A = this chain, B = another copy of it.
Amino acid sequence: MSALASGLLGSLDPTSDRAVFRQIADQLREAIDKGRFAEGAKLPSESELVEHFSVSRMTVRNALSILQSEGLVSSEHGKGVFVRPRPPVRRLASDRFARRHREQGKSAFIVEADAAGSHPEVDNLEVKEERPTPDISARLGAPRKVLARRRRYLLDGRPVEFAVSYLPLDLARDTPIAQPNPGPGGIYARLEELGHTLDHFEEEIKARMPSPQEVRTLRLAAGVPVFHLIRTAFDTKGRAVEVCDTVMAADAYVLNYQLPAT
């Protein structure tokens, strides 16, 4: 095994003023980038690296923790440290809320995932009346209470997205929107049936590191950021009729938008 490390890794430069653990991280990173360790492959164990570089174990662990925080590798207790495989990504097209996509019975998430050959699931459904946070309240025109629809999306068993939709309660109470399953076309179809013809959506996107709670909910590996997307739906009267607050595992998504040049 130690032969493996020797063949794929070089040695340290004692004259360099770059810290030893950084040099080790650099060498491993380069080896991964150049494909000398394939996706999913196991890196040399900590003790092999200790021997190869003649350093203490903490130094090796320090180096590995850099690569982990970069999202390059992940460690598995009792097994080893592995090059993180790139999960298949879901592309979110900017026309995914176009009216023509609302005709069929299944939700956009299910349809898209099926088309891509993945196994989709929706989870954790909760529909509740709540008092809105100041931010949500401002976006929805300060309703006293809102209907909150929470759900989690999974792809091939992996949670990839957690979303909460907020609607003014006066608009959603005692409608199919307040049901766990709002029916074909989702809540946007129901909103239009209720006379709130949709005009446009606004999406606001941030990226950041996840909170510990989000790490649990999305089972995120170290070094994976999240997209935080807030979408507001406006009807033709200019009223904000829904705000959807979504947190997505960033390594599972590519967002696509189409912008007019006019």
Min CB distance A136 to B, Å, is: 16
Given the interface contacts A262-B98, A262-B99, does A256 sit within 8 Å of B202 by beta carbon? yes
Which residues of chain A in 227-262 are interfacial with respect to chain B, using CB atoms and an 8 Å cutoff?
227, 233, 250-251, 253-262
Q: Which residues does chain B contribute within 8 Å of A77, judged by CB atoms? A: none
- Contacting pair A204 B261 (CB below 8 A): no
A226 CA to B257 CA, complexed, in Å: 18
A50 CA to B181 CA, complexed, in Å: 52
Min CB distance A196 to B, Å, is: 11
Q: Which residues does chain B contribute within 8 Å of A201, judged by CB atoms? A: 258-259, 261
Min CB distance A66 to B, Å, is: 9
- Contacting pair B227 A209 (CB below 8 A): no
A60 CA to B237 CA, complexed, in Å: 56
- Contacting pair B261 A198 (CB below 8 A): yes
Of the residues B212, B233, B254, contact of A261 by C-beta under 8 Å:
B233
**Chain A residues within 8 Å of B, Cβ to Cβ:** 26, 29, 58, 65, 69-71, 94-95, 97-99, 198-212, 222-227, 233, 250-251, 253-262
Q: 5 pairs across A/B with beta carbons < 8 Å?
A: A71-B208, A94-B259, A206-B253, A209-B225, A225-B225
Which 5 A-B pairs have CB atoms at the shortest separation, nearest pair first?
A225-B225, A207-B207, A198-B261, A207-B250, A205-B255
